Amino acid sequence: MKIKIGTRGSKLALWQAYFVQDQLAKEGVESEIITIETTGDKRLDVTISKIGSKGVFTEEIEEQLKSGAIDIAVHSAKDMPSTLPEGFELIAFSEREQAHDVLISHKTIDFNQPDLVLGTSSTRRIAFLNKHFPHVNTVAVRGNLQTRIKKMKSGVCDALWLAYAGAHRMGFDDMMVHHFDENEFVPAVGQGSVTIEVYRGISDEKKALIRKATNHPETEQCLLAERSYLQIMNGGCSIPVYGRARLENGQLTLTGGIISLDGREQVSQTYTSSPNEGPETGKKLAQYVLDHGGKEILAEIRKQQAED
């Protein structure tokens, strides 16, 4: 059996695909990597929230899954919409890398510097920044990590605000000048884990083998909780919704919330349950957040985005 792995062509996407290929190889499963260009890769001129977040990095790849040109697709779990199109399924989640965010730069960064500019287009990051460091500005810097670093060095911004996981995988540890506390700057749902998507019809045998080689059960339990929360909040990456589950002492702890774009309003909550109750816990958390001001924050954000 030879598994055809589909992936985007960026260096980070290829890292993820090789990572999965390695894990399959350890189980004696042969595979080949096929790269696919997506709308999200082509449209570097506008921010993701303007293209519409839903599946800009996944649509073309899903067409290839559907046609059978590839057997599995490898993605950052964070990039996956909370509801997949009919027939698609995430069957495995890799062990999560450290989930927090970092700043990478070629120089030291002082948050008190009056004209500091950070490169990000994430609404979650901008909202947290407005809450904790309201005087700091941001600029959207798109493109793969290597391109963004070039733009930063040319003076577009002082530092790039990134997920530790991606920056680490690309070998930029030396440039990490700040690590954000993930209790204050809570990561996006799924951050740090690599996931495998399939289309219905894949054989049970293939699925079981792929899961055995690549799935990390504890991470899966966490991600199912986070994604269930995200699904009810109906947020893609263009909504400042965050969520982070952990397994500690045999219990699942899920923290999540939403923050207004100006950073002034925030609703957060934490629930604990048994590890296999993640999906129900995610729903319960979403209900709490929506009922305690989340609905109003969401409505305000949708209004602002419609005006943009």
Ligand X SMILES: NCc1[nH]cc(CCC(=O)O)c1CC(=O)O
Kindly tell me which of 17 and 162 has the beta carbon lying closer to ligand X. Answer: 162
Least separation in angstroms between CB 122 and ligand X: 6
**Angle between helix 11-26 and 145-153 (nearest 10):** 150
Kindly tell me which of 141 and 254 has the beta carbon lying closer to ligand X. Answer: 141
Q: Which residues bind ligand X (CB under 6 A)?
A: 76, 78-79, 162-163, 165-166, 191-192
Q: Which of 293, 259, 233, 76 is nearest to 166 (CA)?
A: 76
Q: Which of 163, 128, 124 is nearest to 145 (CA)?
A: 163
Least separation in angstroms between CB 200 and ligand X: 25
Kindly tell me which of 136 and 188 has the beta carbon lying closer to ligand X. Answer: 188
Cα–Cα distance measured from residue 162 to residue 103, given in angstroms and rounded to the nearest whole number: 6
Backbone φ and ψ of 87, nearest 5°: 95, -15
Structure tokens at 180: 């954000």
User: Between β-strands 159-163 and 2-7, what pairing exists: parallel, antiparallel or unpaired?
Assistant: unpaired
Active site residue 101: no
Least separation in angstroms between CB 167 and ligand X: 7
* Cβ-proximal residues to 112 (8 Å cutoff; 6+ apart), any chain: none
Least separation in angstroms between CB 104 and ligand X: 9
Kindly tell me which of 79 and 197 has the beta carbon lying closer to ligand X. Answer: 79
Kindly name the residue from 71, 79, 101, 158 that is annotated as catalytic.
Answer: 79
Cβ contact 212:20 at 8 Å: no
Q: Which of 12, 223, 262 is nearest to 123 (CA)?
A: 262
Q: Alpha helices, DSSP H only, in the chain?
A: 11-26, 39-42, 48-51, 59-67, 123-132, 145-153, 164-169, 204-214, 217-233, 278-289, 295-307
Kindly tell me which of 79 and 158 has the beta carbon lying closer to ligand X. Answer: 79
Least separation in angstroms between CB 199 and ligand X: 22
Active site residues: 79
